[in-house]
Amino acid sequence: MAITGVLRPGHVAIRVLDMEAALNHYVNVLGLIEVARDEARKRVFLKAWDELDHHSVVLRETDEAGMDYMGWKVDSAATLERLAGDIERSGLCSDLGWVEAGEHPCTGRRFRFTIPTGHVMELYADKTVTGNNCGTDGPDVNPMPWPDGLRGIAPSRFDHCLLYGDDLDGTVKLFTEVLGFGLAEQVMAGPERNFMIGAFLSCANKAHDVAFIRQPVKGKFHHASFILNSWESVLRAADILSRNKTSIDMGPTRHGITRGETIYFFDPSGNRNEVFAGGYIYYPDKPTITWTDEELGPAIFYHDRKLNEAFLSVFT
């Protein structure tokens, strides 16, 4: 296996204000699949149809929308121990500690820490593989292209998050020098173009697995994104969103950054979602793409070539 260390985004925990309304959105409109409930903690666990692990989205009912944490799957228990030590020795993070196995259903213990931008992250090595219901003789035997009974937009998996925070430099240092991510793209500002205002980071071969935008806030959530197969699927998603009277933020359109096709919309609690297709293949030897602040319009929305103000100012 060539990919080692941090393998991919594993889950995102999102706070919602009304669980019934949230489930209608995430199950019937977005098309995720409910897999478990934790009534005591007011949590529901979901997954996208082509994710083999038990869950990728955790909804928690509370009185403030936003993101609780983002989880990353690593390649082994030994890597989990090593990275936990590396994070502690780096001095870049706070509130470090272990979450015991079983606190998430079907999940081993997780190492949790707060990064310089104020976001809570965690690493884990073990989560039960439950399959995608595509195989007639088991999850990995003679599979069909997709399972029956999909609802709504039906993305194949949770893809990435975009997060807002103040200490972008410390967070990029953590992800690149400690966790082993590559800096696929960056947005630079200032007369000498040496002040980073955006970073798009990859742990494997996607254009990004997480992105950060510098803002004078701590721990804010811009969006969680889910992957589709094609531009046509993004257009179909727009039809489904309109049919369900879902609040659309922007799109369908294309990004300059990552080259992906996109549409942004809001869940009933005001958390932004994205469905995303395309992008390029990233390898560690690919030079970092740089965008400058005067070209931020086409960097974000390539077709319009200008920013939607709500895209910058609305977050949870």
Q: What is the DSSP letter of 5?
A: S
Q: State yes or no: cis peptide before 9, omega within 30 of 0.
A: no
Catalytic residue among 11, 25, 54, 255: 255
Query: Catalytic annotation on 274?
Result: yes
Contact 234, 275 (CB under 8 A): yes
Which residue is catalytic, options 69, 261, 274, 282?
Answer: 274
Q: Quote the Cα angle for 210-263-122, to 5°.
A: 25
SS3 content of the chain, % helix, strand, coil (to 5): 20, 40, 40
Q: Is 223 a known active-site residue?
A: yes
Which residue in 55, 69, 223, 261 is the catalytic one? 223
Question: What is the number of alpha carbons within 13 Å of residue 79 lying toward its C-beta?
Answer: 17
222 part of the active site = no
Indicate if 232 belongs to the active site.
no
Catalytic position from the list 25, 54, 160, 222: 160
Catalytic residue of the set 55, 104, 208, 222: 208
Considering the candidates 26, 124, 264, 282, report the single residue annotated as catalytic.
264
User: Is 69 noted as a catalytic residue in this protein?
Assistant: no
Catalytic annotation present for 255: yes
Q: Where are the beta strands (DSSP E) in the chain?
A: 6-16, 33-38, 43-47, 57-61, 66-74, 94-99, 110-114, 120-124, 157-165, 182-189, 195-202, 210-214, 220-227, 248-254, 260-266, 272-278, 289-292
> Which of the residues are catalytic?
160, 208, 223, 255, 264, 274
